Amino acid sequence: MNAFLAQLLNGLDKGGAYALIALGLTLVFGTLGVVNFAHGALFMLGCFMAVTFRYLITIEKVTTDPTQLSPWGQPLEVRAPIVQDWLGDFGLFLVDYSVPFSILLTIPVMLAIGIGMERGLIKHFYKRTHAEQILVTFGLAIVIGEIVKSIYGPNPWPQPIPSDLRSAADIGRWLGMEPNTLTYPWWRMIYLMFSLGVIAAVFAFLRFTTFGMVVRAGMADREAVGLLGINIDKRFTVVFGLAAVVAGVAGAMYTPLLPPNYQIGMDFLVLSFVVVVVGGMGSLPGAVLAGFLLGILQSFASMTEVKSLIPGIDQVIIYLVAVVILLVRPRGLMGRRGVMEG
Amino acid sequence: MFHLSRKDQIKLAIFALVVVTMPIWLAPLGAAYPGLMQKFAIYAIFAIGFNILFGLTGYLSFGHAAFLGVGSYTAVWSFKLLTMDIVPALIFSTLLAGVFALVIGFFSLRRTGIYFSILTLAFAQMCYSLAYSVLTPITNGETGLLLARNDPRVIDEALGAGTVGGAGLPTPALLGNTVSGYFGFYICAALLILAFFISQKIFASPFGLALRGIKSNQTRMIYTGFNIRPYMLAAFVISGMFAGLAGGLLSVTDPIAGAERMRWTESGNIVLMTILGGVGTLIGPVIGAWVIEYFENIFSAINKNMLNAAFDFLPDGVQNLAVTVLSKFVGEGWHLTLGLLFVLIVVFLPGGLVEGYLKLVARFRRGRGTKPEAGGK
């Protein structure tokens, strides 16, 4: 039972990441009708926003302290982040909590990148076939990946978890079990909460704001909304930017769990496309549901008991589930008829 | 069976001539060494096969690398267990890839559009992951499947033929002649010409016409009483067998098979080659494969010193700038060039290089005052 719960929890945070990426993919597909293979690259850019933020705030100022001497008899060099100079203790706090604070950098930058991408390239592809959309965004993903590689190099960049959050929460004790029987690292829990919060925010945005209402109307019938005198293209551009932000913050917060390198986007993209298709192309709740479902299934499949029963299952479970669901439920879990079948 | 229209005969003759004379016309381009030319031929076969599926039916498979990988492994196993002769190796790798394609196609073709793409991708990724993990006894995991001196090689043993290649590792052979260098290239070239011929036959046949009908209007084909499933499956299996043959040839020219050949990036690569050359045209995929293989080889070999030498005539500051910028695009960074090329091609020339050529020809003719010919796909 405990092992079961532990795997469930482990699957949830991964599922959160899948759900966030799949949500953005579906949002773009539902509004713009574009299959965006560069979405994984946006996730990767988000990861590197966290890396960049930490790099910037840990730039050090070297001062010499004449009152202290190093073992070689020279004045001791004192290295301290510049932010500490400026902000004092808050600066140190900022360095410690660089990953969550990097969201402040991620949101505006990703919004700009998303809008730029849509205006610069994607908008020319609304009328083209899905195959061509896949190909051009695939090419774009290669380009983004290579640019990141040429700046940050091919090696992963580990990001630290804030020091207060490195321990694990003793969930078992909360549920009235023996202490330390069921623990869950704080950061994973935060990631799970964070992803749920972002998902709720996106849904609320689409549900309860006028902007969201117009976007939903545009998803249902773009032409009619346009005839009402609403500039729907402009709103859809913002939606693309929003999807980029969601992917970006998902990536930035994920960095402590998996050190990012330039390939992380592609790895997540393949999985999240499977997630989107399993959920049903164009269905936002489907994407979220399938994201968590596949995350949890993957986590269960990597249990030793399961692996000894069916060797190799942990490697293929996601694809296996995708194949079965697509064959049994042709349009995924919650997809509509006639979407993406041409 | 071997009949071709006059136009196709001429095309085939020219194509054969171009392929056979490759060592001559590639020499000024700096690519006339056998290893690279073998790859030219092999990837052209792969692309021709992929084009039979994607070009004729419009079904975008993202899992063709699986068949390439299966072909490679089969060929190496044939070398290990049966004989170092390449004929059985190639036959087995083609057939086994065909069987894989039959199974995968049987399921994947139940869906269309992106669902088909994702299904093929899922199957290929399963093959890839399994080859790395559980199937290690068959695939030898990350190391890759290698030949060994003490492999059984039943047929060679029975015939009493000594291992070809003397004291070292045995090398693949055709009827006792070691396959390497130019001989290897000409084997690949012969198979490429054969593949081109088969592709011509398919394009000109009623079967090919039916596939094109499926591409342009599937519903109408069904309403006219066509059962499209067997046609689609046949196209999928044929294209899988071409991929298997290409995989087998990769093992013949270099008897190592690794799982990375099954990775989905490899599938993306073949899509890229086909698109770059021109989807649905006979010659397009071949050109695409050649261009990409050529650039991969040439661009990734350029380094900073060569750039410095090339821009020596510029003032120092400009030279440094040019070298710094360009060095991002060559050597390790040649994928960046590839990605950019890809984006540009899809944006400006969706029909690939062949369409670009036809447009040029049409413009040229219009310039001379004759009526432009409709650019045929």
In this prediction, residue B122 carries a pLDDT of 85
Nearest to A139 among B117, B264, B339 (CB): B339
Question: Is it the case that residue A137 has pLDDT exceeding 60?
Answer: yes
Beta bridge partners of A19: none
Q: A16 to chain B, minimum CA–CA distance in Å?
A: 21
The residue count of chain A comes to 342
Question: Is it the case that residue B372 has pLDDT exceeding 60?
Answer: no
> Would you kindly state where each structural domain of chain A is located, as residue ranges?
2-328
Q: Is A99 helix (H, G, I), strand (E, B) or coil?
A: helix
Q: Residue for token digits 């003490």?
A: B150
Phi, psi of A25 (to 5 degrees): -60, -45
What is the mean predicted confidence (pLDDT) over A61-65? 74
Which tops the pLDDT comparison, B375 or B237? B237
Nearest to A135 among B125, B275, B338 (CB): B275
In this prediction, residue B35 carries a pLDDT of 83
Q: What ipTM was reported for this prediction?
A: 0.77
In this prediction, residue B106 carries a pLDDT of 92
DSSP B215-253: HH-HHHHHHTT--HHHHHHHHHHHHHHHHHHHHHHHHHH
The reply to whether A311 touches chain B by the CB within 8 Å rule is yes
Question: Is it the case that residue B99 has pLDDT exceeding 60?
Answer: yes
pLDDT in tens, A3-58: 777 888 888 888 898 899 889 888 888 778 888 888 889 999 999 999 998 888 88
pLDDT in tens, B342-362: 788 888 887 788 888 888 888
Name every residue in B having a CB less than 8 A away from some CB of A: 58, 60, 107, 110-115, 117-119, 121-123, 125-126, 129-130, 132-135, 264-265, 268, 271-272, 275, 328, 333, 335-336, 338-343, 346-347, 350
Contacts of residues B298-303 at CB distance under 8 Å and 24 or more positions apart, as own/partner, are B298/B30, B298/B31, B299/B329, B299/B330, B299/B331, B299/B334, B299/B337, B300/B330, B300/B331, B300/B332, B300/B334, B301/B331, B302/B330, B302/B331, B303/B327, B303/B330, B303/B331
What tokens does B284 get? 């397009």
Q: Over pLDDT 90: what percentage of chain A?
A: 13
What is the mean predicted confidence (pLDDT) over B174-193? 83
Residues of A within 8 A of B355 (CB-CB) are none
H helices present in chain B, as ranges: 6-20, 22-25, 34-57, 65-81, 86-108, 113-132, 136-139, 154-159, 181-204, 206-216, 218-223, 228-253, 264-277, 284-301, 304-310, 316-327, 334-348, 352-367
In this prediction, residue B377 carries a pLDDT of 38
In this prediction, residue A342 carries a pLDDT of 46
Residues of chain A numbered 244-283 and touching chain B (CB < 8 Å): 266, 270, 273-274, 277, 281
pLDDT in tens, A97-126: 888 888 889 999 999 999 999 998 888 888
In the DSSP assignment, the letter for residue A65 is E
In this prediction, residue A161 carries a pLDDT of 84
Q: Is A63 helix (H, G, I), strand (E, B) or coil?
A: strand
Q: B106 to chain A, minimum CA–CA distance in Å?
A: 11
Least confident of A250-254, B189-193, B310-314: B310-314
- pLDDT range class, residue B373, cuts 50, 70, 90: very low
CATH topology for the B6-262 domain = ABC transporter involved in vitamin B12 uptake, BtuC (1.10.3470)
In this prediction, residue B48 carries a pLDDT of 93
Task: Please state, rounded to an integer, the average pLDDT across all residues of chain B.
Answer: 83
In this prediction, residue A121 carries a pLDDT of 86
Question: Is it the case that residue A278 has pLDDT exceeding 90?
Answer: no
> Would you kindly state where each structural domain of chain B is located, as residue ranges?
6-262
Residues of B within 8 A of A138 (CB-CB) are 268, 342
> Residues A37, A138: contact at Cβ < 8 Å?
yes
pLDDT in tens, A287-315: 899 999 888 888 888 877 777 777 777 77
pLDDT in tens, B5-36: 888 888 888 988 998 888 888 878 777 788 88
